[in-house]
Amino acid sequence: MHYLPVPDYHMHTPRCNHAKGSVRDYADAAIKLDLNEIGISDHSPMPGGFDKDWRMHQSEMASYLSEIEQTRDALAEQLVVRVGLEADFHPGTEDYVSNMIASYPWDYVIGSVHYIGDWGFDNPDCMDEWKDRDINKAYCAYFELVGQSARSGLFDIIGHPDLIKKFGHRADPDNALVKAAEEAMLQAVLQSGAALEISSAGLRKPVKEIYPHNRIVQRAAELHIPFSFGSDAHSPAEVGRDMDACLATLQSFGITEIASFEQRSMTMRALSHA
Ligand code: ZN
Ligand code: FE
Ligand code: FE
Ligand code: ZN
């Protein structure tokens, strides 16, 4: 089954120090899968020393952009290649991110929360801290930050919106505070007009589940929040991975369209399969 009109908007390059393959390799992988559109979204520079080992340095931005542009232009007949970025949302860095976004005509910018305070909760090296954390409270703090990321108005796509579950730590699904935090996050996304990312990456992580959870997909569908798809590929072999499973999930909740982006303007496309 091929879902030709669905773009994969989340993939990385070796500049972030934890991905492999050239932009051309990612594009070639997409063409082999009969995709007609991808977007590159490497981890952006961030100010100060924020998480510097896991992202490109400011000095690599020019080569990042020119590599994408060259591949885009070389493959123009075969594949649409969008120029994107995965920026972190981290309170206090908004001005830096805003300036970075203003400095280039991006097709879209994904906003992702990978830190609660100075705790890199999705970093395998920071796993120990989970032992000292109340899981319900961690979920609440996480969803509050994702909501803030939407309210910042900086982002076109809200990335992997329940990444907090990556290692399989589960909040109590009936906890009223967690449920309220989840709802507040979705209301913020709705107000912002951003798309919510459905990501297959969670299937490759200990949690072995799509981001976000079905309950969030269902509620987002009720609210008519648009979705975009991302594999979060860190190697060319991961491009388009489990797109079918993500689209089946969306369709099971009555969703019939998927978001596409050009120059930061969103267009919805009908989900159809051949
Ligand atoms: Zn990454
Ligand atoms: Fe991320
Ligand atoms: Fe990513
Ligand atoms: Zn990611």
pLDDT tens for 29-67 read: 999 999 999 999 999 999 999 999 999 999 999 999 999
Q: CB atoms < 10 A from the CB of 214, how many?
A: 12
Instruction: Tell whether 2 is covered by a domain.
Output: no
Distance 17 CA to ligand 4 centre (A): 13
Average pLDDT (102-111) is 98
Average pLDDT (157-173) is 97
Distance 9 CA to ligand 3 centre (A): 10
pLDDT tens for 193-248 read: 999 999 999 999 999 999 999 999 999 999 999 999 999 999 999 999 999 999 99
* Whole-angstrom distance, CA of residue 69 vs CA of residue 23: 10
Distance 176 CA to ligand 3 centre (A): 30
**Residue 188 neighbours by CB under 8 Å, 6+ apart:** 146, 147, 148, 150, 151
Distance 17 CA to ligand 1 centre (A): 8
Distance 17 CA to ligand 3 centre (A): 12
Instruction: Tell whether 147 is covered by a domain.
Output: yes
Q: Cα dihedral angle (164, 166, 167, 171), rounded to 10 degrees?
A: 40
CATH code for the domain of 203: 3.20.20.140
Q: Looking at the 3D structure of the chain, how many domains does it have?
A: 1
Distance 78 CA to ligand 1 centre (A): 27
Report pLDDT for 5: 82
Instruction: Tell whether 114 is covered by a domain.
Output: yes
Distance 235 CA to ligand 4 centre (A): 13
Instruction: Tell whether 4 is covered by a domain.
Output: no
pLDDT tens for 79-96 read: 999 999 999 999 999 999
Distance 11 CA to ligand 3 centre (A): 6
Beta strands in 145-209 (DSSP E): 157-158, 195-199
Instruction: Tell whether 5 is covered by a domain.
Output: no
* Whole-angstrom distance, CA of residue 192 vs CA of residue 185: 11
Distance 274 CA to ligand 1 centre (A): 32
Instruction: Tell whether 60 is covered by a domain.
Output: yes
Instruction: Tell whether 123 is covered by a domain.
Output: yes
Distance 46 CA to ligand 4 centre (A): 15
Instruction: Tell whether 89 is covered by a domain.
Output: yes
For 28, the domain range is: 14-270
Nearest alpha carbon to residue 7 among 35, 26, 34: 35
Q: Burial letters for 11-40: b for 16+ Cβ neighbours within 10 Å, e otherwise?
A: bbbebbeebebebbbbbbbbeebebebbbb
Distance 3 CA to ligand 4 centre (A): 22
Residue 160 has pLDDT above 50, yes or no: yes
